[in-house]
Amino acid sequence: MTIGQNSEYFRDVRIGVIGGTGLYSLDGLNVIETLAVETPWGQPSGPITIAETVRGHKIAFLARHGPSHSVLPSEVNYRANIAALKALGVQAILAFSAVGSLREEISPGDFVLIDQIIDRTKGVRADSFFTGTGVTAHATFGEPVSAGLRTLVARHAAAVPDISVHTSGTGVCMEGPAFSTRAESNLYRAWGASVINMTCIPESKLAREAEITYAIVCMATDYDAWRESEEPVTVAEVMHTMKGNAANAKTLLLALLPDFEDAVYNDAARALMDPEAGSMQYAFQQPPEKQSAAGRATLNFLFPQYFTV
């Protein structure tokens, strides 16, 4: 795998950040290099930027839709995105995503730290690293988002005082790229959902399969389509709100980074990553001798501890 001229130098980048709509770069950090990463599942959405914090730790940043937002939600190579970050050593990912609000109390501009997800995608996205490998595995996904990382983010809500940071909620992931009908939007509200987006599935599932701690900051841009008194959401409305959201996302990230770094780099107990670390160890149903040799070779990229070649 070629990831850059100094590839070995970039094998201990433990923190990953995935930017969504409107968040295509990081500010306030020293950019070291931009890497093109090749994985068995292809290339990620774009180059991965390696930046260094003031404390000397490295962070990997990836724009989910590409640096110029050229990739639709259903076309994102989620497997390559997560695999590329894993190959760099990433153990914890904080993702950001534009969402529509399904609740009156979640205003455009607010952030929501969802703890549950409803999958309304349509099966057109590659959503498992094991598909096509001849290796069967089943990841636990009852709690799809890291409670520890959500709590860490919530502690720094005061960094963005002009908005509300909601510390829990349920997100619906729809296929897109069209927005919801009013009937769909009201259905999701009836289910108790808080926000809706187009990308947290399969991103969160793949992070779990890869044993990466994952949380997502949902940045509300609109009220979706459920409000009868308003026109349904448009791209123009989303982009108007996203400018402020992107600025607040960068402010929040810089505020929480010291705690994030301590949890990932300095905690000998590794409490933040412990629930996900090793979580796939007992997920495989076949004995090794019954697994496809080619599949084992592919999966060695992610799991050298489970699939020797």
For residues 21 and 69, is the Cβ–Cβ distance under 8 A? yes
DSSP code of residue 262: I
Q: Which of 110, 115, 119, 222 is catalytic?
A: 222
Burial of 268 (0-12, 13-18, 19+ CB in 10 A): exposed
Nearest to 170 by CA among 105, 112, 100, 117: 117
CA distance 21 to 218: 11
Angle between helices 78-87 and 200-209 (to 10 degrees): 40
156: its two tokens: 């720094």
Q: Which of 115, 224, 259, 274 is catalytic?
A: 224
End-to-end CA distance of the chain: 15
For residues 45 and 37, is the Cβ–Cβ distance under 8 A? no
Amino acid identity, position 20:
G
80: its two tokens: 């390559």
Spatial CB neighbours of 46, under 8 Å, sequence gap ≥ 6 = 62, 63, 66, 67
Check the CA dihedral 199-215-88-209 and report its sign: negative
Active site residue 274: no
Check the CA dihedral 115-120-121-126 and report its sign: positive
CA distance 76 to 127: 11
Active site residue 127: no
The set of catalytic residues is 222, 224
